[in-house]
A and B are shown apart, each in its own frame.
Chain A
Amino acid sequence: MTRTLFILLTLVLSANAATGARAASDHDHGDHDTHDTEHADDGRVEIDADMAQQSGVTTALAEGGQIERLAQVYGTLATLPDRRAVLQARFPGVVTSVQATTGDRVQQGDTLAVIESSDSLRSYRVRAPIDGVVQTRSVSPGAVVSDAPLFTLVDDRQLWAELKLFPRQRGAVRAGQTVHLRINDQTAEGRIAHITPGSAETPYVIARVALDNPDRRFAPGDLVSADIVVEHAVVPLRVDNRALQTLDGQTGVFIQDGNQYEWHPLELGRRDARYSEVLDGLHGGAQYVVGNSYLIKADLEKAGAAHEH
């Protein structure tokens, strides 16, 4: 009977041992993980120069430079108030002749029309008060005019970009700041002349930028997109934004040292579209990874990369 028992035992044992093999394969898996975790703990990875070059890893020298922080706003072009004239007849009368018509460019002092006064029956001239273009003309010879506008003159050699500043943007914008304007795919530059409050109904204030328009590329009413340089500083140390990665909730860069790449968490200050100011965590002259910095992060953290279904 004991023999039977023994056989039974052997069989159950062999079955157990066989099923236990599944565990063995998983142990290997576990090994692998711990190995990689150690690898990642010191925040340092090694990549061959060849490999780095093939993967598009590039570096740059950490140095000082400009930081230009921009705010993007929209607005429209408008004529300057003193560059626009609406002409009316001084005395009601009959228009005897009209010298200028819509679109004509006139000089200050040019005669635009002659009107014979109904009272005195004497003729007088209507002269252009400013240089400009005849935008509208609403008289023809023979018409009797009283106080209706005769001509509108506009001088568009200089325009205003009226930019709308919404509350969140307002704080950083000051008069005198440089503005990069983009109008119909053309660019121009200017400075904020002044900021005026909007009306009670509008949530925004208006910043005006004078814009020279000698060749009349722009027209009043054009939509302007503007980048206001709200902050311009020369900082002792800045890094390229493409270099920044986040690791464990901290932002930083990878410093290259031969084939070694080391993680440096940074304290960052101001930033613009391309660069960020470095307050702490990096010294000038370090080679930091710019191109494909994600790859270094990926290599550092790859222990966590698993395929979970």
Chain B
Amino acid sequence: MIDAIVRLSIERRYLMLSLILLLIGAGLWSYQRLPIDAVPDITNVQVQINTEAPGYSPLEAEQRITFPVETALYGLPGLEYTRSLSRYGLSQVTVVFEEGTDLYFARNLINERLAAIASALPPGLSPQMGPIATGLGEIFVYTVDAAPDSTQPNGEPWDAIALREVQDWIIKPQLAQVRGVVEINTIGGYDKQYHVTPDPQRLLQFGVTMEQVSEALRRNNSNQGAGYIERNGQQLLVRSPGQLASLVDIENVVIRQLAGTPVRVGDVADVAIGRELRTGAATRDGHEAVLGTAMMLVGENARTVARALADRLNDIKSSLPPGVEVETVYDRTTLVDKTIATVQKNLLEGALLVIAVLFLLLGNFRAALITAAVIPLAMMATLFGMVKTGVSANLMSLGALDFGLIVDGAVIIVENCIRRLSQAQHQGTLPLRERLQCVFEATTEVIRPSLFGVAIITVVYIPIFSLTGVEGKMFHPMAATVVMALLAAMLLSLTLVPAAVATFMTGTVSEKESPVIRAGKSVYRPLLEWALRLRHAVVAAALVLVLACGWLLSTLGSEFIPQLDEGDIALHAMRIPGTGLEQSVAMQALLEQRIKAFPEVDKVFAKIGTPEVATDPMPPNVADNFVILKPRSEWPDPSRLKADLVAEMEAALEKLPGNNYEFTQPIQMRFNELISGVRADLGIKVFGDDLEQLVATANDILAVLQDVEGAAGARVEQVTGLPMLSVIPRRLALARYGLTVDALQTLVATSIGGEQAGLIYEGDRRFELVVRLPEDLRRDIDRLAFLPVPLPDGGYVPLEEVAELDIRPAPAQISRENGKRRVVVTANVRGRDLGGFVEEVKARIGQDVTVPSGYWLDYGGTFEQLQSASQRLAIVVPVTLAVIIGLLVMAFGSFRDALIIFTGVPLALTGGVLALWLRDMPLSISAGVGFIALSGVAVLNGLVMVSFIRDLWHQTGDLRHAVIEGALVRLRPVLMTALVASLGFVPMALNTGTGAEVQRPLATVVIGGIISSTLLTLVVLPVLYHWWHGKNRQTQTP
């Protein structure tokens, strides 16, 4: 079949060549549609269900919202697990679906379930699904700030309320319409509210209750349409406008009549513009600001959307009131551009190096160009494939592309063609027919080994596909892209390459044996002969080398995935639980001033607490800081390492009292927040009902855990710590005064939290009208005891008479998983193997800890993933190796030859290990991928070499001659494939741009490995072949 394809390609060569145009067209089309981002999206398929419950404490939020929502989700198809947290004013349920579930389908299912439970939730509360975005979604952040000394149109300075109004009603509506934006999330400032703050004394005086005030406001604030009347043929609409429009309007609302005189709202209460009880704040460079975050729709192109946002924001600037300044503080475009620039540079330089090498070694410019043409064409096909399979272009997916590797197949074919053509031309220029025949023969001669080679390289990527979870998401795109590129190249070398050679290699084919090759051969022949003589020593040396590198490998440090340097710094600043928002803002100001003092820092901004849409519900004691650095050229020392800067920053910030820090990077931080599993080696989850019992059991477990050898940093998740003021009704006393519990609770809720009594409209803008106690009374806990509670028949009773006031710590947050409360005990393991540790812990806990009935434990943590990954790899890697051997056996029909070729793999790995060791790099998954690619190349080299030697041996029957001559003939292609493959990676190995740190280990391993593999293929392989087959023949023919 292969012969038929090659023949067809050569016969219909012009047709084949015209297909190039089609390919280019498809490539360009794909490029337009290819989603581009900096890193692959590692978020799982998840939907957040947020329910805002103003005033609800964690316990109430859990009981009345979280539980019904969780229960409603049971049995959803594809559901993997649910987790939830209930916090002040918020219930968030995160639903994680199995990989591959369609997000829109999942959201639809949830929507259906939520609709069914709407009636089971407290009235007025409705669960909302989070934006359709992933961890990569936060692509654009801007601040709304006031210019110094600027004032509002009414003469007052811009404050946090006014700025928020500008954001909510001028900026957000415009930005939200940008294509690809799913949500503009606001944090900071205060929602403007109209506050009616009744004074308890004046209420008593006029015999009015808070309830009556709200009621009066509700009844006096609406417009009503009243149909139409027709008069003299004309239609007349009727309406009765009655909406409150101003503070004075509100003051003049009549509550009741007292002895013939109306009691107005203004008589018993102050009316003013006030601040909402906010759950989040934002700061910028040490002062409060309003922050807008644009979230991108899943699957959109980050760069395009961020650009469009920036453009729109520029347009918006002209529509802003004077004095308000809007500035972009984070723009993903910057990072994407830098990363893509790095990748482009690597690919371009790699491609140029490859072309240069081809020209140098082939000594034929046209042949070099044909081979090189495979590079862009394969790239076009790959882009097309990426769009079709939904792989986005990013550092990881494009990072492992090595054009040297891709053109390997083509190199072998072209090299053989021009060798055969130039041999055939000794008698003069060939006629067309003969030339075509010659090309056909030359192609088919090497096509099988090179196809097998490419197939094998493809196969070695299979273990990567077996990775699951985060690792899988990181590396699947990489493997997919490489495999696509290889397949494309394979197809091209079957069709286009022979067609192009047949078409363009007309006239005299000058195959000048380049000086490099000549010199190489003159060294190689004696070397090979010497090696064949000293075969025992050579094989022994190779073995020693392999063993030594095996040992060296075990001494290398390891890291999981080299972290992409995003160029900016993100840090969590954490204060103790229970810290208030204003306190946090004050502490944040100091923190930001300190950070801003670094000359490398351009801007610093922070989100504290929970934004409007609770995509990342943090308590008020946690702040996400973003430190945007200046371009390196503006640094005092442009060559300073970022790690060094981070270290200095950490040391400086450590001096600020009351903060704990965790340094990370913006995208990384977002991923962590969304994935959010147990991040320690071992996590023991205690499930059950009663929080106190859960904590008690968790503490028992902690005690046992700390005793187990190897446990480090064991701790129980902090559950309590939020002081809570409880107003506990005294039922007897309430009965005596004829009050109900509900009446008391409503009063407390209205007084402290406020009660919404309608909306005030200003054009499109709408603001809440809220009734609550004046600020000074709200804050005074001592006086709360004396708050008059109105009695049903008039009169009042002080609050302390009918309720107990009690302050004690309460749960700050209730976490649940799969529908049950849980507390997690975590520990890391040092100095012993994880599996044994976990076994011992399980046994000790089973023995020493009594878990009450109704409570149960679950063991999780990274140990699980490690175990499953190891188990999977322990199956997949041998299977892959077996498949490779199987392919080799298929190619040669000889198990022995297959094994000989296979020796190339460990020999290749030695070089990779040495290169890592030389560059002082740790072992990482990136390096692992390098080793995988390396195995493929090594096998390919061996394959070509052995197949030639074998053919020659079969032709001549002289083993030694066949080995030496065959090896000499294959010197050029082996050197060429090796050189192009390694040189293609050189720019990657040396690059220091953004994103290079992820590619560097991979490239380093491949370069090192190819050097060793080439040398060993050229020397050890022929020796082994000769030894094994020679010995065998002797035993066969005694």
Contacts and interface: CB of A to CB of B under 8 A. Distances in A.
Interface stretch (A100-108, A136-144, A298-306): A298-306
B778 to A, nearest CB: 15
Interface string A9-45: 0111111111111111111011101101000000001
A306 B656 CA distance: 17
Interface stretch (A70-78, A122-130, A230-238, A278-286): A70-78
A246 to B, nearest CB: 7
B99 interface: no
A246 B723 contact: yes
Interface stretch (B320-328, B424-432, B864-872): B864-872
Nearest to A17: B558
A197 interface: no
A203 B874 CA distance: 81
A55 B870 CA distance: 51
B912 to A, nearest CB: 10
A10 B909 contact: yes
A182 interface: yes
Contacts of A169: 798, 800
Contact of A21 (B550, B559, B662, B830): B559
Contacts of B798: 72-73, 166, 168-169
Interface residues of A, number: 68
B915 to A, nearest CB: 14
Nearest to B788: A74
Contact of A12 (B712, B874, B909): B874
B870 A12 contact: yes
Interface stretch (B503-511, B696-704, B753-761, B920-928): B920-928
B801 A167 contact: yes
B591 to A, nearest CB: 10
Contacts of B659: 298, 302, 305
Interface stretch (A87-95, A112-120, A207-215, A289-297): A289-297
B658 to A, nearest CB: 3
A53 B515 CA distance: 77
A20 B786 CA distance: 61
B905 to A, nearest CB: 6
Contacts of B655: 48, 51
B931 interface: yes
Contact of B574 (A22, A51, A168, A302): A302
A27 B712 contact: yes
A169 to B, nearest CB: 7
Contacts of A20: 558, 866
Of B658, B662, B885, chain A has the most CB atoms within 10 Å of the CB of: B658
Contacts of A10: 550, 553, 906, 909
A19 B576 contact: no
B131 to A, nearest CB: 17
Nearest to B922: A21
Given A12-B870, A19-B866, A298 B737 contact: no
A250 B354 CA distance: 73
Given A296-B657, A297-B576, A14 B786 contact: no
Given A7-B881, A182-B201, A223-B204, A166 B797 contact: yes
Of A17, A20, A307, chain B has the most CB atoms within 10 Å of the CB of: A307
B575 A15 contact: no
B985 interface: no
Interface string B88-121: 0000000000000000000000000000000000
A14 B681 contact: no
A309 interface: yes
Given A10-B909, A13-B554, A307-B622, A298 B560 contact: no
Contacts of A19: 471, 560, 865-866, 869-870, 925
A225 B715 CA distance: 52
Nearest to A1: B899
B550 A26 contact: no
A304 B718 CA distance: 8
B587 A295 contact: yes
Contact of A298 (B575, B676, B813): B575
A8 B902 CA distance: 12
A36 B654 CA distance: 11
A273 interface: yes
B369 interface: no
Nearest to B912: A14
A305 B660 contact: yes
Nearest to A23: B681
B586 A308 contact: no
Contact of A309 (B205, B673, B782): B673
B721 A24 contact: no
Contacts of B656: 51
A56 interface: yes
Contacts of A22: 560, 862, 865-866
B1027 interface: no
B870 A307 contact: no
B717 interface: yes
B208 to A, nearest CB: 12
A253 B919 CA distance: 55
A56 B713 contact: no
Interface string B539-577: 000000010001001101011110000000000101111
Given A47-B657, A51-B655, A273 B928 contact: no
A70 to B, nearest CB: 9
B499 to A, nearest CB: 39
B679 A74 contact: no
B574 A307 contact: yes
B621 interface: yes
Contacts of B553: 10, 13-14, 17
Contacts of B905: 7
Contacts of B560: 18-19, 21-22, 24-25
Contacts of A303: 660
B222 interface: no
A295 B580 CA distance: 11
A263 to B, nearest CB: 14
A4 interface: yes
Nearest to B677: A309
A168 B801 contact: yes
Contacts of B899: 3-4
A222 interface: yes
A302 B575 contact: yes
Interface in B649-693: 655-660, 662, 673, 676, 679-681
B1002 interface: no
B558 A21 contact: yes
A72 B786 contact: yes
Nearest to B931: A14
A199 interface: no
Contacts of A186: none
Interface string B889-927: 000000000010011011001000000000000111101
Q: When A and B form their complex, which 10 residue pairs have the shortest distance between CB atoms, in order from nearest? A: A30-B713, A298-B658, A21-B560, A223-B205, A72-B786, A305-B574, A299-B657, A309-B676, A21-B559, A299-B658
12 contacts: A12-B873, A15-B928, A17-B554, A18-B923, A24-B559, A26-B828, A30-B680, A51-B657, A54-B590, A56-B586, A298-B658, A308-B718
Given A15-B928, A24-B560, A72-B798, 16 more contacts: A4-B881, A8-B877, A14-B553, A14-B923, A16-B870, A18-B560, A22-B865, A29-B828, A30-B680, A34-B713, A52-B657, A71-B786, A74-B201, A169-B798, A299-B657, A304-B721
Interface of A: 3-4, 6-8, 10-27, 29-31, 33-34, 36, 45, 47-48, 51-52, 54-56, 71-74, 166-169, 182, 203, 222-223, 225, 246, 273, 292, 294-299, 301-309
Interface of B: 85, 201-202, 204-205, 463, 471, 546, 550, 553-554, 556, 558-561, 572, 574-577, 579, 583, 586-587, 590, 618, 621-622, 655-660, 662, 673, 676, 679-681, 712-713, 715, 717-718, 721, 723, 736-737, 782-783, 786, 788, 796-798, 800-801, 813, 815, 828-830, 834, 862, 865-866, 869-870, 873-874, 877-878, 881, 885, 899, 902-903, 905-906, 909, 922-925, 927-928, 931
